Structures are given as C-alpha cells and as structure tokens.
Structure 1
C-alpha cells in the first residue's frame, strides 16, 4: 500500500459517518424519484432528458458507494469499484422492474438501464483514473 492509499483511508475514516449518511440519502432519493408518480415531476421539453437524470443518479450512486466501502470496510480499490458498479447496476435494474410492476404512471425502459450503466461506468473510470494519477504523484 502506498502513501496515498494510507492517507486516503485515514481521511475517509474521519468522515465515515458523513459518507455513510450521504450514501444512504442519495440511494433513497434516487429510489424515490424513480418511483414517484411522473405526474408530480416537472415536465422538461428536451428529448430523452430523463436519460441524463439516470446517468447522473448512477454516477453519484457509484461514486458514493465506492467511498462508502473504502471508508467503512477499507476495501481495496479494485473491489470497491467492482462492488460500487455492481450495486449501481443491479439497483437500477430493480428500480426499472419496480417502475413497470408497481407504478401506474411510470414504465420500464431498457434505455434507462443503459443510461444507468453508462453513468456507473463513467464514475468507475473517473475514480480509477483519479486513483492512478494520485498514486503516481
């Protein structure tokens, strides 16, 4: 383990409760916004604007869950990234199924799953590159 990783783990441990609270809040907010009646959401006249929302939601989910596993369990970067990506992916699939089964104004859309996955992959890429850059300095 290099100096940067030791310092990062120490800093994350200091903010563990904040990271945990943010992660739970973001996950709950994503679930709520994806399952709330679409009649209650503002209308935006941009084609596929909701895909940007899905991308953003899952970028944030992956990023925060990565920090959660680093701070809470001191998981190695590769495994924390994998866990964060898999959580985001399966959470997105479950939400899409729930939209189709439990809501009347929402529907399941495979393109939402793609947007979710792209957001999660971009977060993994950003975190991977940031870690690689930081470990070289």
Structure 2
C-alpha cells in the first residue's frame, strides 16, 4: 500500500533526491573547519556518515524512479547504484584536488559503496517480495 502511494508524488521525490545529492556534495566539499564539531567522539563516525549518505542517495533515487516509471527494473537499480559509486569517487577526487581541509580516503569509497549496495539490495528484495508494487 505504501509503495503504491510513492508513485503519486514524483516531483516531491525528484526534488528530495536532488536536494540530498546537493547536500552530500556540499557537505563533503565544504571547508571542514566550517562544519560544527560533534561533542561525542565516536570512532568511525565519518565512515558511518559516508555509508548513510550513499544508502539514502540510492534509496531516494530508487523511490523517484519508481514514482516516475511505476517500476524500478533491475537494470535501473544497478544504474542508480553505479551512479552512487561514481558520485562518491568523484567527491573523493574533488576533495583531494580542490580542497585544503579535506583529503581523499579509500575507506570512504568502500563505505560509500557499502551504503549504495545495501540500499540497492533492500530495494531489489522489497520489489521481489512485493511484485505488485513493481508492475
């Protein structure tokens, strides 16, 4: 039922996915000295954030394409995951090349990939379990 209602709001989902994409790019490229400091020191919080950025990125773009096309094919879902992976790699390259307070990190790319792949898998399994939502 919820999945069918997603298709009624394609403009909302497009703007949400686009907004999230811009937010991720901005957050990853802004001068790190301008970011608020987190009082709680959590080991690996940076990696968790990278994972969540790309997990949400993949979910939002999948929801948008579902709302637009009334389905998300395996090919479309694979494309969304690959775009998320490439987006993460480009962000890391931009950090290394054009920022003074950020640096590229292979572990960030690994966690970006994990978030994108897990979200893609969840979308795939959800649509496989509820095939009526993907027709």
Say whether the fold is shared (TM-score over 0.5). yes
Question: How far apart are 1:79 and its partner, in Å?
Answer: 1.8
Q: Which residue of 2 aligns with 1:91?
A: 87
Query: Where does residue 127 of structure 2 map in the other structure?
Result: 131
Q: What is the CA distance between 1:135 and its match in structure 2? A: 2.5
Match of 2:76 among 75, 80, 89: 80
Aligned residue among 37, 52, 56 for 1:43: 37
2:11 aligns with 17
Q: Residues of 1 paired with 2:78 and 2:91: CA distance?
A: 20
Contact 2:62 2:72 in 1 (8 A): no
- How many equivalent residue pairs? 130
Q: Distance in 2 between matches of 1:50 and 1:56?
A: 10
In 2 relative to 1, CA 133–63 (structure 1 residues): closer, same or farther, beyond 3 Å?
Answer: same
- The equivalent position to 1:26 in structure 2, one of 20, 26, 34, is 20
Q: What is the distance in 2 between the residues matched to 1:41 and 1:126?
A: 31
TM-score normalised by structure 1 residue count:
0.85
- For structure 1, list consecutive stretches of 5 or more residues without a partner in the other structure: none
Change (3 A) 1:135 1:13: closer
Displacement of 1:48 in angstroms is 1.8
Taking structure 2 as the reference length, what is the TM-score of the superposition? 0.86
Please give the alpha-carbon distance, in whole angstroms, between the structure 2 residues aligned to 1:75 and 1:83.
14
CA RMSD, Structure 1 to Structure 2 (Å):
2.1
